[in-house]
A and B are shown apart, each in its own frame.
Chain A
Amino acid sequence: MAEKPSVPMEEFRMLMERAGFRLTQGELEHLKPFYETALALVAPLHAKDFTTGEMAVNFDAAEPTTG
């Protein structure tokens, strides 16, 4: 896991408001450490180019998905 970043409280409040949540100071203080942990957990996903994992829409004619 990458090093846990420190996100300023005001920045965190702004991010939550932009997502549609107007939280109390207590709620923000409770949530911020989890967000910082999540950022560290997710960071490795952006450190690699998953060339074998390209996203695509696949069809399998032998296996229709509807009746």
Chain B
Amino acid sequence: MTMRSELHYLTIGQAGRLIKERKLSPVELTRVMLERVEKMGGTLQTYITLLRDEAMAQAKAAEAEIRRGNYRGPLHGIPIALKDNYDTKDVRTTAGSQLLRDHVPMEDSAVAARLKAAGAVLLGKLTLTEFACGGPDQTCGYPIPRNPWNLEHGAGGSSNGSAVAVSAGLCMGTMATCTRGSIRAPAMFCNVVGFKPTYGRVSRHGVIPLSWTLDHCGPITATVEDAAIMLRAVAGWDPADPTSSHAPAPDYAGELRTDIKGLKIGVPRHFFFPARPDVQREPLAIAEAALRKLEELGAHVEETRIPELEYSDAAALVILLGEGYAYHQWNLKAKPEGYGVVNRAEFRLASLFTMSDYVQAQRARNALKRGYAKALQRYDLIVSPTFAIVAPRYDAPPGMATTKMPSFTGPYNLAGLPAISVPAGFTAKGLPSGIQLAGRPFDETTVLRAAYTYEQATEWHKRRPPL
């Protein structure tokens, strides 16, 4: 039997099975999680809004419903949280911005509504970088989370609160958002799983936008199984989101199995393993070891080339900031003091991008999509390190989109392909690193299966931060 002191580190899958068998009380589980947040929250700075009373009320309702025999599924009675750019009815939603510090939506985002329908318990709203853009910025007036693996380090951006909360046992899973890597990078920095599904797989209705053509919704969880469970709950067509897809969403968790024999994996080393001073060697070495492990498990690993990757950083920069500027232009001129120093600067300079910059960026993006489509005719998956560096120091200068460091995650936002980051090892200084597995559009099942197979064959995801 699980000890009360360990409940906060149960996975969603484990807790769900115990709740279904009525061996675990959602009320007790929620109480333990809230106590944990109260204890650690001050140090880790993860929650902008904590919903103590509301969460306990939801947990009591879930428990009563389950007792009556109305078990809704694997999220019923599970304490989760949301990045604070998902609208939540009657609950403040700030997007990490002073402009929205008193914003209380009148309706739930599609994701919040679907999680509610699945019976999940909402513990609260999690910290993020301002408008989910760029890296942490002290001038925005919101807490910046610390990395539970080393409090002198941060958790990147933009879903830093989400990754820290899952890693430290302050919620069992979160829904985050990703425009160029905001799910996978913080997940890697905190030794948890981050999954950006296919563009259109999850409705973005009620999510405060950054870049309409790059934004994605996806889970950050402790395990691949948990990501599969959360994705199933929120995936599927939504009439309120014209970009959402009619593609059927299977039972991702039900289809998980540890078998990748014969799976073909392509590795574009020319882009993802560069010898550059701004790319650290340790994450690359850890990814090399992970590729060897995938080979041991039966996958065929081959080097390949996707030449169009060369333009992905420039294309992502122009599209992200250009669309972001289009959304923010009025407030940027009328209320510039409402923005942090970093975003104010970046959106202002985006006003200087030209029409041909944006058109060329979209053409480069289309070429990249074709490059990936060609590669994915030959390979089932493309695998790489998740990010070029491990978690930056907490006091590092704010990250900017205009950084020269290559983004290993951005190509999948441009191409709209499903991509997951799973824990793959630690640096000599004890900071987590990860690998990224990406697949064909709407083939989340293969991506999850390969990630699950790797995860189950390794021990990295079982490590807990030294808190």
Residues of A in contact with B (beta carbons under 8 Å apart)? 1, 15-16, 19-21, 23, 30-31, 34-35, 37-38, 41-46, 48, 50, 52-55, 63-67
Those of B297-317 within 8 Å (CB) of chain A: 310-311, 313-315, 317
* Contact (Cβ within 8 A) B361 A30: no
Nearest to A65 among chain B residues (CB) is B242
8 Å CB contact of B352 from A16, A48, A53, A66: A16
Given A37-B404, A67-B239, the answer on whether A54 and B366 have CB atoms closer than 8 Å is yes
**Which residues in B have their C-beta under 8 angstroms from that of A30?**
345
8 Å CB contact of A45 from B246, B345, B361: B361
Complex Cα gap A1–B227 (Å): 36
**Which residues in B have their C-beta under 8 angstroms from that of A43?**
314
* Contact (Cβ within 8 A) A15 B352: yes
- Tell me, yes or no, whether B363 is within 8 Å of chain A by CB: yes
**Which residues in A have their C-beta under 8 angstroms from that of B364?**
45, 48, 50, 53
Most buried by B among A19, A53, A54: A53
Nearest to B401 among chain A residues (CB) is A38
Given A21-B333, A53-B365, A53-B366, the answer on whether A34 and B400 have CB atoms closer than 8 Å is yes
* Contact (Cβ within 8 A) B349 A53: no
Complex Cα gap A67–B240 (Å): 9
Complex Cα gap A59–B348 (Å): 35
**Besides A34-B349, A45-B357, A53-B365, 6 other A-B contacts (C-beta < 8 A):** A21-B333, A37-B404, A46-B356, A53-B362, A53-B367, A55-B362
Most buried by B among A15, A16, A21, A43: A21
Residue interface bits B353-381, CB-to-A below 8 A is 1, else 0: 10011011111111111100000000000
Those of B57-107 within 8 Å (CB) of chain A: none
Complex Cα gap A19–B97 (Å): 23
* Contact (Cβ within 8 A) A41 B313: yes
Complex Cα gap A50–B369 (Å): 12
Given A35-B352, A41-B313, the answer on whether A1 and B404 have CB atoms closer than 8 Å is yes
**Which residues in A have their C-beta under 8 angstroms from that of B369?**
53
- Tell me, yes or no, whether B43 is within 8 Å of chain A by CB: no
* Contact (Cβ within 8 A) A21 B351: yes
Residues of B in contact with A (beta carbons under 8 Å apart)? 239, 242-243, 245-247, 310-311, 313-315, 317-318, 329, 333, 345-346, 348-349, 351-353, 356-357, 359-370, 400, 402, 404
Nearest to B400 among chain A residues (CB) is A34
**Which residues in B have their C-beta under 8 angstroms from that of A67?**
239
8 Å CB contact of B360 from A34, A45, A66: A45
8 Å CB contact of A53 from B310, B314, B318, B370: B370
**Which residues in B have their C-beta under 8 angstroms from that of A1?**
404
Complex Cα gap A23–B363 (Å): 33
**Which residues in A have their C-beta under 8 angstroms from that of B363?**
50, 53-55
**Which residues in A have their C-beta under 8 angstroms from that of B246?**
63-64
Cβ of A67 to closest chain B Cβ, rounded Å: 4
Cβ of A21 to closest chain B Cβ, rounded Å: 6
Cβ of B37 to closest chain A Cβ, rounded Å: 37
* Contact (Cβ within 8 A) A35 B366: no
Complex Cα gap A30–B310 (Å): 29
Given A30-B345, A52-B370, the answer on whether A44 and B357 have CB atoms closer than 8 Å is no
Complex Cα gap A45–B239 (Å): 36
**Which residues in B have their C-beta under 8 angstroms from that of A34?**
345-346, 349, 400, 402
Complex Cα gap A55–B362 (Å): 7
Complex Cα gap A45–B356 (Å): 9
Cβ of B80 to closest chain A Cβ, rounded Å: 29
Cβ of B244 to closest chain A Cβ, rounded Å: 8
**Which residues in A have their C-beta under 8 angstroms from that of B353?**
38, 42
Nearest to A35 among chain B residues (CB) is B349
Given A21-B351, A34-B345, A55-B359, the answer on whether A41 and B317 have CB atoms closer than 8 Å is yes
